Amino acid sequence: MAGSIAPIASIGVPREIKPDEQRVALTPDAVRELVSHGLSVRVEHRAGAGAGIEDAAYVAAGAELVSREEAWGAHLVVKVKEPQTEEFPFLRADQVLFTYLHLAAYPAVGEALIEAGTTAIAYETVQLSDGSLPLLAPMSEIAGRLAAQVGAHLLEKPHGGRGVLMGGCTGVRPARVVVLGAGSVGWNAARVAAAMDAEVLLLDLSPERLRQLEPARQGRMVSLVSSVGRLERLIPSADLVIGAVLRPGDRAPTLVSEDLVKQMQPGSVIVDVAIDQGGCIATSRET
């Protein structure tokens, strides 16, 4: 989204208002670094509260505590999540917005940016010359590891699951975990699931990517080249399916149909990490 870019003299950090979002775009150390280069940083009151960062820490780093309107009034606005509907009126043509956007999943955000003429840069589409995604990678690591952890939790009977222990026990088979995609999310999910002693089937379309990961493969992990037939065979037998497919800047492909989901055992679990890009499993809905 390209508008007219004004010189960056001030940086605004609004408090995130998306439900359950506790992160903040800049830490006090980051603020201190920017201030040392002569930039003015405006941080909305209590922007860091959800992350355990007090206003006083930002003031000590050289930031100015401001209202939401003043934070959005900066030349460069840095956030964590895409603008919410009630934030659309703050978008303007002489503004640069730097945040996760995931426009494939949120077309209304794209329309609002175009209408306002805002120059918007999405963290998840910033690429290095080798095609890697440096700003998405840290979040992908966390999301992948959490996917296995949350999936194990939801498999427990008190949480509505099948009552399957990830690593099994003597005389009882372990959980079967199918991971769709061997990128940063999928690989981290597979590693954690394998460390829990689950049976892990890691699928990816790229034999080269799977070959690259082969030396680090451990535990009961098997890497497989993905195909329609293989998915049709594996998904119904899975205790936990983790969706970790990414097409940078595009909507995630739907790999698992509603019919395949219906074939899964009652109490099986799906964790679709691709939901920010629309999800790769037909029945996934953002919560």
Tally the C-alpha atoms within 13 A of residue 12's C-alpha that lie toward its C-beta.
21
Catalytic residue among 75, 102, 250, 259: 102
What whole-number distance in Å separates Cα of residue 63 and Cα of residue 48? 12
Q: Give the position of tokens 């805002």.
A: 118
Residue 172, both tokens: 């009882």
DSSP code of residue 216: G
Classify 47 in phi/psi space as left (phi over 0), alpha (psi -120 to 50) or beta.
alpha
Residue 117, both tokens: 């003429």
What whole-number distance in Å separates Cα of residue 270 and Cα of residue 88? 33
Catalytic residue among 204, 239, 272, 276: 276
Of 189, 172, 185, the C-alpha closest to 240 is 189
Active site residue 197: no
Q: Contact 182/223 with Cβ under 8 angstroms? A: yes
What whole-number distance in Å separates Cα of residue 107 and Cα of residue 61? 37
What whole-number distance in Å separates Cα of residue 285 and Cα of residue 287? 6
Active site residue 29: no
Residues catalogued as catalytic:
102, 276
